[in-house]
Chains A and B, each alone.
Chain A
């Protein structure tokens, strides 16, 4: 098992080296990046917005139940909701959701291209397939994911305000005061750094599993599952590492 793990790590590093080789024609790659921003980012807007609003609402209600004492001011609910959303829920949970949505798409797309010999065709034409297929996805994803995460933060905080106001658990003024209280810009940097690293992990790990798919439809499905599972595991591990490095 350790041997297999080391084999995959080694092959993954070699693939990443291939991915960052000089592109054949930059204008074509620029166009590919624009297409991938749409495929990987804009197509995920709906799910990110939906999950964020509800996630923020749930966090706010849970906070309200947990600070149900007159000793703690009500604005703490807004403050705690903001901190939870900015530091953990938006960058990590949304990245895990994207690992499922975007990761499976990337693995199955590249895996299908492998089993139908389209990757061989690229190589025969004289194009580095690793660069052509994975590099634009990495660039697009690392550009668009921080924007998605920022949007998620805003919508989750809005969802918290909506839930607090509609249920009467926290007055609007107190919630908004809490949102603004003790604000540190570094928290946003921390969240954005995490979102960029997670975007890289999702695309590169899913791309790796797709790129080395062998066989047929069954193996494409298996590659897609592996892509999602392994990128989710990597997100969890790197979440701990980055938190230790950036906050400790």
Chain B
């Protein structure tokens, strides 16, 4: 379980996160939703330690992550996988090298064991015969899947996904969503997903936190998100014609 307790973060005079408290449960897909600029990416970066928080604390299973030094954070980071918005695959490495990289850095596995693990992770994200390709040779959806394969290479306890289906067609987006959901249940991970895609919310949102103007505005599950009477949440959820029709039904 990951917990943010009264997390605040400012950039200069601009307060981006204002005392946000949220709990992200194990074995579930925990979604952070909100409009662009609401602070959800900043919240995710605070959770993984890419941004230092100004106030509050971030806890990983009772370990206070936000007060750790870089070297102490390394231990938790080896239990953590992250899927970045653009994939963030290392350009100079092949697909296989990308997946093997964390294993080479932090394990004493033999080259054969690492290759087997890479093949397993690639098969788990339903990719074959791409080991020797460079990231530039992959489509957007394939990049995301390779990035997921890299994120699960070290058997993480915590998985973070920053807008996992942005820039993807609806079908591929659905495939990625289902893949993340399957992996979460299979490995009993604490998964935190940052999205503004309502399809993802309805498909895989076990727990949902709505961030608005840097504050935690609403929390609930995928059923209650459609029935809530919170006006700001409704404005976000029913922003499209499709979701408005869904509500009328």
Contacts and interface: CB of A to CB of B under 8 A. Distances in A.
Contact of A28 (B49, B90, B104): B104
29 contacts: A24-B105, A25-B106, A28-B105, A113-B91, A116-B86, A116-B88, A116-B91, A117-B85, A117-B86, A118-B88, A118-B89, A120-B45, A121-B84, A121-B88, A123-B49, A124-B48, A124-B50, A124-B77, A124-B82, A125-B78, A125-B101, A125-B102, A125-B105, A126-B73, A126-B74, A126-B75, A126-B105, A126-B106, A127-B105
B92 to A, nearest CB: 9
A128 interface: yes
Nearest to B162: A117
Contact of B90 (A24, A118, A126): A118
Contacts, number: 54
Instruction: Give the top 5 A-B pairs by smallest Cβ distance, nearest first.
Output: A126-B77, A117-B88, A121-B88, A126-B74, A117-B84
Contacts of A112: 91
B105 A25 contact: yes
Given A24-B105, A25-B104, A28-B104, A126 B88 contact: no
Nearest to A115: B86
Contact of B106 (A24, A120, A124): A24
A126 B104 contact: no
Nearest to B73: A126
Contacts of B89: 118
Given A127-B105, A128-B70, A121 B90 contact: yes
A124 B80 CA distance: 7
B81 to A, nearest CB: 8
Contacts of B160: 124
A130 to B, nearest CB: 10
Contacts of A118: 88-91
Contacts of B50: 120, 123-124
A120 B88 contact: yes
B110 to A, nearest CB: 13
B77 A125 contact: yes
A28 B105 CA distance: 7
Interface string A101-115: 000000000001100
Nearest to B81: A124
Contacts of A125: 77-78, 101-102, 105
